[in-house]
Chain A
Amino acid sequence: DTGVSQNPRHKITKRGQNVTFRCDPISEHNRLYWYRQTLGQGPEFLTYFQNEAQLEKSRLLSDRFSAERPKGSFSTLEIQRTEQGDSAMYLCASSDSQGAGQPQHFGDGTRLSIL
């Protein structure tokens, strides 16, 4: 399967714990994005990398959230001191940078539940 891969698929944790998610983009894509989706809403943008550089960050990305893409390949999203409001589906997407308006392709997501 050459699509975007995310793990874990599901994460259940207690409030206050730290969690880390991983995303492996489509291999030839140099752009990687993180979104969050809650029930009944469309995905909301969190952050974007081109290669290893983090170029866009949403105000939604509070100081408890950090994302990295150290070698320009896979990315991790860490949430520290989780809160109930962090419960959501965390989606990763990737795209090619060639040409304008390249569509983004999404992974299956990581569903986070905070107890």
Chain B
Amino acid sequence: RKEVEQDPGPFNVPEGATVAFNCTYSNSASQSFFWYRQDCRKEPKLLMSVYSSGNEDGRFTAQLNRASQYISLLIRDSKLSDSATYLCVVRNTGFQKLVFGTGTRLLVSP
């Protein structure tokens, strides 16, 4: 079992739709949580950090449930430019390395 699990998708949605991605992690020592975005054949780019209280950045909302070891990302009013792979990422206590999920692919169509 992978340490960070994501549905690989793809999720096909029309422009303007709301879409949610989920991610689970298995290590209870996970301390920091992030969503990264990766375009095809490009490097991962930080989308947002995820905090226990939940946080929002424009059309993007991230939630963390430590008890269930579950992270979510909600994208409202999807744009064509949101088409990408979204990587769920954790960092465990005492380590600096990031542990990535396999990513969830999103395709937004006109």
What residues of chain A have their CB less than 8 Å away from a CB belonging to chain B? 31, 33, 35, 40-45, 48, 50, 55-56, 58, 91, 93, 95, 100-101, 103-109, 111
* Contact A42:B100 (CB < 8 A) given known A100-B31, A101-B32, A103-B49: yes
Q: How far is the CB of A10 from chain B (nearest CB, A)?
A: 11
Contact B97 A56 (CB under 8 A): yes
Contacting residues of chain B (73-106) with chain A, CB-CB under 8 angstroms: 87, 89, 91, 95-103
- A106: chain B residues within 8 A (beta carbon): 43-45
Q: What is the chain A residue whose CB lies nearest that of B48?
A: A103
Contact B97 A45 (CB under 8 A): yes
Q: What is the chain A residue whose CB lies nearest that of B2?
A: A42
Contact A103 B34 (CB under 8 A): yes
Beta-carbon contacts of B27-46 to A below 8 Å, as 1s and 0s?
Answer: 00001101000000111111
